[in-house]
């Protein structure tokens, strides 16, 4: 089975540019999560969706960040405008159902804002 | 404030010996705990989990112990192998937040041949 697929794997862009990160969850998984990993804060949850509907976006740091899930097989995380402090590794994860089910992670997008 | 803490940033053990990774939590509502392993340039991979109704769960070389009164869990790897060298994350969740995960900052395990 294909795992969670993220693209691009690496992104380098200049401050002020729009950045779009993409995620394809595992087929059949109805929960999708976006995380950010930094040295200072570790792995922190930004937002999650259930059946394509955003449930909790309390971790989104600022209005510059937005996330969408137009269908069950695709989600985007957008930063506009980007700033150097947004540099981090962004992970997407998906999960089937509630309860004792683990989340499965993609390999992440390493984002560098110059 | 960190609700899940892994106080040891790193741990080094000899091949064949036991590795013990520790994790403490503060939120008494957490009722499901997981360990993830992460290699460089890859995403975290699920390793093992435990529900709060248990105090031990075993899967091959990996055993997780939960002490609810102390709000502490540990991961034991026996015997340790060089391929186990990775960062290990402890995560906790609760039913009332849809089991969203709160992660510790990780422990880098190095298993020396």
Q: Name which of A4, A56, A100 is nearest B100 (Cβ-Cβ).
A: A56
User: Cα A5 to chain center, whole Å?
Assistant: 11
- Using a CB-CB cut-off of 8 Å, the residues of chain A touching B100 are 33, 45, 48, 56
Chain A, nearest residue to B105 by Cα: A42
DSSP-derived 3-state class of residue B40 = coil
Of residues A41 and A98, more confidently modeled? A41
Per residue in A65-103, pLDDT (tens digit) is 999 999 999 999 999 999 999 999 999 999 998 767 899
Take residue B11 and report the two structure tokens written for it.
């741990």
Record: contact B43-A4, CB cut-off 8 A = yes
Handedness of CA A101, A102, A107, A113 (dihedral sign): positive
Q: Name which of B32, B43, B51 is nearest A105 (Cβ-Cβ).
A: B43
CA of A82, closest CA in chain B: separation in Å?
Answer: 23
pLDDT by position in tens, chain B (length 113)? 789 999 999 999 999 999 999 999 999 999 999 999 999 999 999 999 999 999 999 999 999 999 999 999 999 999 999 999 999 999 999 887 778 899 999 999 999 99
Measured CA to CA, the distance from residue B110 to residue B103 in angstroms comes to 20
Sorting pLDDT into bands at 50, 70 and 90, what band is A1?
Answer: low
Chain A, nearest residue to B39 by Cα: A107
Nearest-CA neighbor of A68 among A82, A48, A85? A48
Chains A, B: CB contacts within 8 A come to 54
> Which pLDDT value is given to residue A2?
83
Read off the pLDDT of each residue in A48-57 and give the average, rounded to a whole number. Answer: 95
Question: Given CB atoms, is B1 within the 8 Å cutoff of chain A?
Answer: no
């Amino acid at each position: 089975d294909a795992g969670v697929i993220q693209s691009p794997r690496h992104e380098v862009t200049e401050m002020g540019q729009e950045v779009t990160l993409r995620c394809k969850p595992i087929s059949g998984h109805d929960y999708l999560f976006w995380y950010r990993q930094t040295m200072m804060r570790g792995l922190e949850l930004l937002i999650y969706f259930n059946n394509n509907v955003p449930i909790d976006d309390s971790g989104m740091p600022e209005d510059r960040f937005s996330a969408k899930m137009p269908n069950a097989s695709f989600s985007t995380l957008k930063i506009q405008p980007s700033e150097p402090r947004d540099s981090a590794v962004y992970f997407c994860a998906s999960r089937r159902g509630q309860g004792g089910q683990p989340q499965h992670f993609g390999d992440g997008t390493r984002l560098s804002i110059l | 404030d960190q609700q899940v803490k892994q106080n040891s940033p790193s741990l080094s053990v000899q091949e064949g010996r036991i590795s013990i990774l520790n994790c403490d939590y503060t939120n008494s509502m957490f009722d499901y705990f997981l360990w993830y392993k992460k290699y460089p340039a890859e995403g975290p991979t699920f390793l093992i989990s435990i529900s709060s109704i248990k105090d031990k769960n075993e899967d091959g070389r990996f055993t997780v112990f939960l002490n609810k009164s102390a709000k502490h869990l540990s991961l034991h790897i026996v015997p340790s192998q060089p391929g186990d060298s990775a960062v290990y994350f402890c995560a906790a969740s609760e039913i009332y937040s849809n089991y969203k995960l709160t992660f510790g900052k990780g422990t880098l395990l190095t298993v020396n041949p």
